[in-house]
């Protein structure tokens, strides 16, 4: 897994740690835990460990905190994370692996490609899939990424495995109660126990046991080959509208577009536009664009070198022309003033967070 490549990312967290230990067949396994207020850290940690290009956008007001942990040996990765605020998550999986996503405490209204997920469902994702999810605050999402080579250990899965891989598997699957219980045990207490053992220098044997259970559970999940009727067919047109608006704002071509401008670019009526956003995200198009712009301001402030910019300049760059109104919107969204975000970044660059790692 190359654990040292995570050190720079962990230095950007408020609390993070890494440990390496011997994995199976001469591999080196890595355990990570992290606690951060930055969406970009979540994107990099999960992106590097799972082989995914990922984007996380806070969609509701609140102080953002992200907690997570994972273990990987390059063939099998097990992870768990939770967010204190509602977030929209995009990901494109590049690794040659089979992914199972599952909620430890229930999805609580989470949406996958504009469709609600049931608490007894998991998401099955194969390589090269563009996956979109709306995650409510406090939902603990866990999962495992298992390389296709590792699944060869289960000969009876060969036909199902090949079919899922060739068919670009991308669906929600309803699971029996006993399999739900096993996934919660593996991805919840099982993962936490092995992470703690790894940090205590005793990770090898517990990881081998958990790893075997992961492969067995992945096989059992693949055998549940009847996708839930409500999840298997994404609402592509709504998803495409949201993505086009997102790209439009983030690439700077239209920093603060009006609803009329969006309708003109997308060639839809205002009613269709609003329905698409309410159906997909539960917010209006205008509120979504405002969240995107605030997110870009926060990312800029968190990534800035000390003394290299002023808050007012960044706000104007992203279409916030009135300083007092901008400060109120920012504080309501993130639970702190923009000047406080910049001050935190200056402390971090001075060595306040990274030294303990």
Judged against a pLDDT cut of 80, whether residue 153 lies above it is answered with no
Q: Considering only residues 155 and 47, tell me which one the structure prediction assigns the higher pLDDT.
A: 47
Domains 7-223 and 236-349 belong to one CATH topology: no
CA distance 309 to 336: 18
Provide the token pair at 67.
């907690």
Break the chain into its structural domains and give their ranges: 7-223, 236-349
Between 81 and 231, the more confident residue is 81
pLDDT in the model for residue 3: 54
Span 40-67, average pLDDT? 83
Q: What is the pLDDT of residues 256-304, one digit of tens each?
A: 888 888 888 888 888 888 888 887 777 888 889 999 999 999 999 988 7
Residue-level pLDDT at 203: 92
Strand (E) or helix (H) holding 75: none
**Who has greater pLDDT, 155 or 190?**
190
When comparing pLDDT for 166 and 246, which is higher? 246
Percent of the chain residues topping a pLDDT of 90: 27
- DSSP assignment, residue 62? S
CATH class label, 7-223: mainly beta
State the average pLDDT over residues 102-114: 81
| Sign for the pseudo-dihedral over CA of 42, 279, 113, 107 | positive
- Residue 216, pLDDT above cutoff 90: no
pLDDT at 2 over 60: no
Average pLDDT over residues 238-256: 80
Residues forming beta bridges with residue 200, ordered by sequence position: none
- The CA distance from 145 to 70, in Å, is 11
pTM: 0.72
CATH architecture of 236-349: Orthogonal Bundle (1.10)
> What mean pLDDT, rounded, does the chain reach?
80
Report CA torsion sign: 63, 77, 91, 300. positive
Q: What element of type H or E holds 130?
A: strand 130-135
CB 195 within 8 A of CB 28: no
**Element housing 98 (H / E):** strand 97-103
Q: Is it the case that residue 227 has pLDDT exceeding 60?
A: no
Terminal-to-terminal C-alpha distance of the chain: 19
């Amino acid at each position: 897994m190359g654990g040292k490549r995570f050190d720079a990312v962990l230095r950007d967290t408020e609390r993070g740690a890494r440990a390496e230990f011997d994995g199976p067949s001469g591999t080196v396994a890595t355990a990570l835990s992290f606690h951060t207020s930055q969406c970009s850290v979540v994107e990099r940690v999960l992106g590097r460990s799972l082989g995914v290009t990922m984007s996380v956008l806070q969609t509701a007001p609140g102080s953002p905190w992200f907690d997570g942990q994972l273990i990987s040996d390059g063939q099998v990765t097990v992870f768990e994370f939770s967010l204190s605020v509602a977030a929209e998550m995009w990901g494109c999986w590049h690794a040659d692996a089979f992914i199972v996503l599952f909620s430890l405490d229930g999805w609580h209204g989470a949406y996958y490609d504009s469709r609600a997920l049931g608490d007894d469902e998991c998401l099955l994702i194969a390589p090269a899939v563009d996956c979109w999810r709306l995650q409510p605050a406090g939902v603990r999402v866990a999962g495992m990424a298992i390389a296709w080579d590792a699944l060869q250990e289960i000969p009876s899965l060969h036909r199902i495995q090949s079919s899922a891989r060739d068919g670009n598997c991308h669906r929600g699957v309803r699971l029996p109660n006993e399999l739900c219980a096993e996934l919660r045990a593996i991805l919840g207490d099982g993962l936490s126990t092995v992470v703690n053992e790894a940090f205590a220098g005793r990770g090898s044997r517990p990881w081998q046991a958990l790893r075997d259970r992961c492969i067995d559970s992945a096989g059992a999940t693949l055998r549940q080959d009847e996708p839930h009727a409500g999840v298997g067919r994404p609402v592509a047109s709504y998803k495409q509208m949201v993505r086009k608006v997102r790209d439009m704002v983030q690439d700077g071509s239209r920093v603060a577009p009006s609803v009329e401008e969006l309708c003109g670019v997308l060639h839809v009526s205002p009613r269709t536009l609003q329905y698409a956003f309410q159906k997909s995200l539960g917010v209006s198009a205008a509120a979504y664009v405002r969240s995107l712009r605030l997110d870009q301001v926060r990312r800029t402030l968190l990534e800035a070198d000390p003394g290299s910019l002023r808050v007012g300049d960044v706000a104007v760059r992203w279409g916030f022309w009135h300083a007092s109104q901008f400060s109120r919107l920012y504080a309501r969204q993130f639970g702190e003033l923009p000047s406080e975000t910049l001050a935190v970044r200056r402390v971090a660059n001075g060595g306040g967070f990274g030294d303990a790692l």
